[in-house]
Structures are given as C-alpha cells and as structure tokens.
Amino acid sequence: VGETIVHALPRDWCATARHLLIDYMWHAFNRESPTFFTPNNLAVHAESFREAGGFDDTIGPTGEDRELCARWLSQGRPIAWAEDAIVTHAHPLTFLGYLRQQYAYGVGSARYRKRIETAANGALPQPVGFYVGVLAHPFRRERGVRAVPLSALLLAGQVCNAMGVLLESRRGES
C-alpha cells in the first residue's frame, strides 16, 4: 500500500522541483489504479516483501522502487492506495545535489529499462508527451511566476536524467 507525499520545503526551489517531478510521476502512473509508489510512502508486509524478492540491489537506490512495483504486479500481487497514509517529506537540495540526484535517477532508469527489456522483450522510454507534461506540471501546481523557474529546473533535471540514462546504457555495451 502507499499514497502520495506532501512537500514540506516550498521555499527550497530544488526540493520543490524534485517534488513536482515525483508528483507528476505519481499521477501519471496511478491514473486508473495504483502501479507505482515511492519508498518514502510505501508499506509492505515484511514476509511478502521477502517472498517477492525485495529491492533489486543491482538497480541501485534510484530505480529500485519502479522495479519492485513492476515485479510485484507481474507476480499477481495487489497494490492499493492507503488514502490516510500521508507522509510529509522534507529533503533539502542544493542545485548541484539536485542535478546529481537527477543524473542518478537516469542511471536507475537505464538499469530498470534493461531489466524490463530482459523480462518483457523490449521497453521504450516514456512518450514525448510524458516529458512535455513534466515541464508543464509546475504551471498546474504552482501560483504565479514560480512556475517558470521550476519548469526550468525540471528541464535541467531531465537533461541530467537523460545523461544518466545514456551513459549507463553505454556502460552496459562496453
């Protein structure tokens, strides 16, 4: 079970951009039924977690949640919302820390995609509309001119993410 998170640092621009990305992904992947929760608001019975194989250490700490949720569902295990389980999340970020985190998300994404390609005979990145939605999300969630720099931060983060995907994908080829 899981639910969304509440952002606790609205004055921290980089933490807010990261939260907007997670918020966008949460809504994009959980439109009709839950398929993805981040580990900061995910509860799993310990025995079921072990039976499912736990987190995959080969993916690393920035893609393990997506892989676990996908594997959990592929094993026929249910994922459910716990509407009362609201977590307030405070994770301050510097600009360089934010860019490093986004790069690491890209590395985790490449590893996750590699695992899915192996398991499901091919996996593509999200469609272009997904990334347009990421950049537009601050204009739906923020007030006034704050949306412009937050969208720019998300763009910078997506560039770092793409670099992480590209470099990790090439590392696997050599």
Q: Give tens-digit pLDDT for 22-59.
A: 999 888 888 888 998 888 889 999 999 999 999 988 88
Percent of the chain scored above 70 by pLDDT?
A: 93
Residues 70 and 76 sit within 8 Å (Cβ to Cβ): no
Nearest alpha carbon to residue 17 among 4, 32, 7, 28: 7
Q: What is the mean pLDDT of residues 71-78?
A: 94
In this structure, the strands spanning 87-89 and 5-7 are parallel
Q: Distance (Å, rounded) from C-alpha 124 to C-alpha 66? A: 15
Q: What is the mean pLDDT of residues 155-173?
A: 90
User: In this predicted model, which residue has the larger pLDDT, 18 or 66?
Assistant: 18
pLDDT value of residue 8: 96
Residues 99 and 158 sit within 8 Å (Cβ to Cβ): no
Q: What are the tens digits of pLDDT across the range 79-118?
A: 999 989 889 999 999 999 999 999 999 999 899 888 776 6
**Model confidence at 61, in pLDDT bands (50, 70, 90)?**
confident
Q: Distance (Å, rounded) from C-alpha 161 to C-alpha 123? A: 17
Q: Distance (Å, rounded) from C-alpha 65 to C-alpha 155? A: 23
**Model confidence at 123, in pLDDT bands (50, 70, 90)?**
very low
pLDDT of residue 122 exceeding 50: no
Residues 60 and 108 sit within 8 Å (Cβ to Cβ): yes
pLDDT value of residue 62: 85
Least confident of 6-10, 32-36, 68-72, 124-128: 124-128
